[in-house]
Amino acid sequence: MRIAVSFPGEHLTGASRYAAAIVGELASRGHLVLAAVHGDGPAKALSGGAAPRADVRRLDTPNLARGPLAVTRHAVGIVRGSRALEHLLGEFQPDVVLSHCVFNVWAALAAKRTGVPLVALLHELPAQFPRPFFGGWAKFLGSRAHSVVVSSEEMLRAVRGLVPRSLVVPPGVDPREFHPGVDGSAVRTELLPQGGGPLVVCVSHIMEAKGQLDLVEAIPRMAERVPGIRIVFVGSTLGRPGTERFL
């Protein structure tokens, strides 16, 4: 099967890593895979084992940003990005397009114009975006996708009224990397050089909708009640000034 995968945004996020894992798995099973990426983040996610087995192409698709001017630029960029992807799909002739993230409407436009079935994978909850944007994007994808895949029952409830053809596929893990035999003692020694106290780890990009800022606000009270506690964030703010100022 010939499969085109449209990546979200420019940053190396969990969604990008997830999409890269799908590309690698599909390619390892003998499928011909075209990975359409934007920015260094997704390209980095594909720089491992997936890259030699997939055709990786960079597109001039829009960054997602906030503010009236940024939203206008994003809208203009969607048209440009959809045309570039449409050209790629015309060359590659895929059997199906997999798009990632609710704002990846350029993939929906390109798939519709080329007549290729679209499967949209959504990774976000409505709280991560202004409600009109999330609702508009979800309805747009839902009206053009053959099916929409979400990763949890919570997400299914959030999009059920917006996207009729939706189903849940729970996220999995790579048992070669994540298993009970993994020895985390070296990491604990590095993060807790004095030994002792509990270690709280949050592995995720830091943004308001994910609730890490509530954890930051609770740190002084946690330190009072649990001496020696240490909180470690593994992720970035994706350059959001408001979040960086808060931290």
Could you tell me the pTM of the whole model?
0.77
Q: At 126, which amino acid appears?
A: P
**pLDDT at 52 exceeding the cut of 60:** no
Class of residue 137 by CB neighbours under 10 A (exposed 0-12, middle 13-18, buried 19+): buried
Ranges 21-35, 84-98, 123-137, most confident: 84-98
**What is the pLDDT at residue 73?**
64
Confidence class for position 72, pLDDT limits 50, 70, 90: low
Rg of the chain over CA atoms, in angstroms? 20
CB atoms within 10 A of CB 22: 18
Residue-level pLDDT at 50: 45
**Rounded Cα–Cα distance for residues 7 and 13 (Å):** 11
* Mean pLDDT for all residues in the chain: 81
Q: Which of 20-34, 49-63, 184-198 has the lowest mean pLDDT?
A: 49-63
